[in-house]
Structure 1
Amino acid sequence: MFLLNELALITLSAGILIYIALLFYSTKRRKMSRRNALGRIYKNWVHVRLQDNTPYNAIQAIRNVMMADSTFISALLILIGILVGLNSANFLDQSLFFGIPGITWGFIQFICNMFVSIFCLFSFILSIRMFARLSLLISGDPLNSSYTAQQGEELTNEAFISAQNHWMQGVRALMYLGSTLSWLVHPILSICVSIIVTVYLIRFQDIWVFKI
């Protein structure tokens, strides 16, 4: 079991690091990726919405995303409470972490789950914050309220991109939360989930390059 726990931790860490590195690389290269294409679409969405004299549809769409954020936050708070209860009840693996006295693999599992859960929680909280700012900007006519129309559009666009980035970070972290939670069941399951999530994100989500 010790070797399996070690492999689970290495697979999880490697998957996250590889995904972050490739995501950063794909955003810096000139060739179009799915993530870069979505960024352009988001900017155009802001431009179109600001030209619309009736921003209610845009605000309703933002409200729907904020409600989804709130649902995720509530579920994560419940999950954090459950994890604290499991750790307090000594339900987790009690074998020593690399033979270090006082540190068990169960504690490492608990830390990994708490770290990913709290990261998700703060990502969704920041997403709500930026979506709230976006709704105020769109309804407040930023094109005429700023020094220049371009400045107003840039401020609104920055709020939308920031909100989307926090949302993206939270959703992707939720997928890796599945890996850390499955580690509580069995290390092999965690290894499989880590590999599947990493391949899925790289191949089908943010990093895959369009053939253009």
Structure 2
Amino acid sequence: MIIDEIAFLIFLVCFIFYFIMFVHALKTSRPTKVRVLKLIYVNWVKTRLEEEDPVTAVQALRNFIYGNSTFVSALFILLGILVGFYSSAIPEQIDQLPSEEIFLTFQFLPVDLVRITTNVGMILFCLFNFIMAIRFATRLSILITGKPREFYTKQYEGIELTRDTLVSAQHHWSYGVRGLFYLAASLFWFVHSIIYIIFTLAVTIYLLISHDII
């Protein structure tokens, strides 16, 4: 149905537009909320390195890693449920689909396959970013306890690498969390295309306004 194509196009445009705006907000010098938070994260590293005992920093990073691990576990479960449920149903339908169930007039591309692919794609996007956040947070816990001030070369300084590691971990975590919002919206496509459109627009507007991006 034409409404499915429109819904998917709106979702794709909103997703790409938001993340372009978000990345721009991270790099701009304009004092946005996202920019201020980034400065606080950098200062957090500096403050933790000035402490003689890095236990507080390691504890905070451990909580951060646990939180990301919870998201990863839940997403793997959801991925298994979606793939397991539709892997057996879709092949049986392809040869006998009515025209209204075909996506963009491609006989080999049923709407249900596009739905599941969209959701799996969003799950993989979130998984990638949460796993990368865990990777950088684990590295950061080692860097903080390894006295990075004492190590440097002409191109790199230990403290600068430590700050960049925290910022990278935070960025990937932010991408993953925002991806969860769009994953939630894409799940509503299984309910109805109109609801899918409404939630996609609502999520995009909420994220843009609540994080001072526009």
TM-score (norm 1): 0.91
Q: Is the aligned partner of 1:106 residue 2:112?
A: yes
Q: Is the 8 A contact 1:23 1:206 kept in 2?
A: no
Q: Is the 8 A contact 1:113 1:181 kept in 2?
A: yes
2:58 paired residue number: 59
| Paired residue secondary structure (1:103) | coil
Deviation at 1:24, TM superposition (A): 3.5
Q: Is the aligned partner of 1:156 residue 2:162?
A: yes
Moved more, 184-193 or 62-71: 184-193
State the Cα deviation string for residues 73-99 of structure 1 (Å, max 9, x = none): 111111111111221232799511122
Selected match of 1:115 from 121, 139, 144: 121
1:68 paired residue number: 67
| Paired residue secondary structure (2:112) | helix
Q: Is the aligned partner of 1:200 residue 2:200?
A: no
Q: 1:157 to 1:22 in 2, by over 3 A?
A: same
Q: Is the aligned partner of 1:14 residue 2:13?
A: yes
Listed as ranges, the gaps of 5+ residues in structure 2 are none
Deviation at 1:7, TM superposition (A): 2.2
Deviation at 1:30, TM superposition (A): 3.2
1:3 paired residue number: 2
> Following the alignment from structure 1 to structure 2, what is the Cα–Cα distance between the partners of residues 40 and 109?
39
Deviation at 1:52, TM superposition (A): 0.7
Selected match of 2:141 from 128, 132, 135: 135
Listed as ranges, the gaps of 5+ residues in structure 1 are none
Percent identity for Structure 1 against Structure 2: 37
CA RMSD of aligned residues (A): 2.0
Moved more, 10-19 or 25-34: 25-34
Q: Is the 8 A contact 1:127 1:167 kept in 2?
A: yes
